[in-house]
Amino acid sequence: DGGITQSPKYLFRKEGQNVTLSCEQNLNHDAMYWYRQDPGQGLRLIYYSQIVNDFQKGDIAEGYSVSREKKESFPLTVTSAQKNPTAFYLCASSMPGLGYEQYFGPGTRLTVT
């Protein structure tokens, strides 16, 4: 089955620790995205990548980092510099170009205490 996997579903970390969220897709999509979702807010774009070895900052990139070494994988690292990291994180992918919608993974709930 083609799709996007995010692991783990729930993640707990202590304040001051970096943590990496996994996102893998087997849809052969070129573009991948990371969104953050907070209660009462819509999804906000953290980073996106339209091609391997290239990525751009989204609206709320501070305190986050990404890499795109393989087409299938787009891991997100939440660093200790992120002031309020507790949130629900969604990964998405799409074919670049006109009209292609984004497909979303099941998400990871990160709790930092």
99 is a site residue for another protein (CB under 8 A): yes
SS3 assignment for 22-55? EEEECCCCCEEEEEEECCCCCEEEEEEEEECCEE
CB of 16 to another protein, least distance (A): 27
27 is a site residue for another protein (CB under 8 A): no
86 is a site residue for another protein (CB under 8 A): no
How far is residue 93's CA from residue 27's CA, in Å, rounded to a whole number? 8
Nearest to 65 by CA among 20, 105, 107, 8: 20
Of 34 and 72, CB closest to another protein: 34
Binding site for another protein (CB under 8 A): 31, 33, 40-45, 48, 50, 56, 58, 88, 90, 92, 94, 96, 98-104, 106-107
